[in-house]
Amino acid sequence: MRPGEGLCADNGRAGPRFHSSLETALFHPGGIGLSSGAGTRGRHGESGIMTTNDDGAMEGSASDLIDAKIAALGDWRGATLARVRALIRAAVPDVVEEVKWRGVPVWSQDGILCTGETYRDKVKLTFANGAALADPKGLFNASIEGNTRRAIDIAEGAGIDEAAFKALVRAAAALNAEKVAGRKARSQR
């Protein structure tokens, strides 16, 4: 598999990945990932089901892999990841779920919305273009020094303003859609 390619959720074959050069630079080291969901673009089929290959590589639909990760965590981190996943799906019903970078859940629509990483002491939700999003409720509490990304670290026992979080996810989706529309308009000139 070459950089810029990924595994199709329906058949595991390498194929082109569709993303911006910014996403490539920031979030696609090697471009390897699995995706499934209504918004999946490229050569992705409808089934979204994969099995273990002869090399023992992790395979399955991205949604199934995220389910397995949540179950395997079996603690507050799994419960937190499951809750924010439900909020993301409620905010953007046609979100694409992907698994990249050794099992990190990624939610996309016209580009990455956010990732859901789990650490010993926190669940980190990193918004790819968080610096460009209004955050009136102050949810972003990590990675705030950069010019592009912003993150929300959720520690054990900490809550999240669910309405504000869903608004942030919807704003990230709207920003991605705006960027795609701008690229299309520029390419038609």
Residue pLDDT, tens place only, 57-88: 556 788 888 888 889 899 999 999 999 999 99
For 187, other C-beta atoms within 10 Å of its C-beta total 7
Q: Who wins on pLDDT, 111 or 33? A: 111
Q: What is the share, in percent, of the chain residues with pLDDT greater than 90?
A: 50
* Higher pLDDT among residues 34 and 178, named by residue: 178
Phi, psi of 150 (to 5 degrees): -145, 155
147 vs 166: CA distance, rounded Å = 22
Question: Are the C-beta atoms of residues 126 and 108 closer than 8 Å to each other?
Answer: no
Number of domains composing the chain: 1
Domain that holds residue 15: 5-187
pLDDT > 70: percent of the chain: 68
3-state secondary structure of 83: helix
Flag whether pLDDT at 101 surpasses 70: yes
**What token pair was written down for 147?**
């010019």
Q: DSSP letter for 9, please.
A: T
Calpha distance 43→16 (Å, rounded):
8
The model's pTM is 0.68
- Count CB-CB contacts under 10 A for residue 175: 19
Amino acid at 108: S
> What is d(CA 171, CA 173) in angstroms, rounded to the nearest whole number?
5
Give 105's strand partners: 99
Residues whose CB falls within 8 Å of the CB of residue 60, separated by 6 or more in sequence, listed in order? 34, 49, 50, 51, 68
φ/ψ of 140, rounded to 5, equals -65, 120
What's at 119, amino acid-wise? Answer: Y
| Of residues 182, 109, 24, the one with CA closest to residue 4 | 24
Cα(5)–Cα(112) distance, integer angstroms: 16
Between CA 15 and CA 2 the distance in angstroms is: 9
pLDDT tens digits, 7-41: 433 334 343 333 333 333 333 333 334 444 443 33
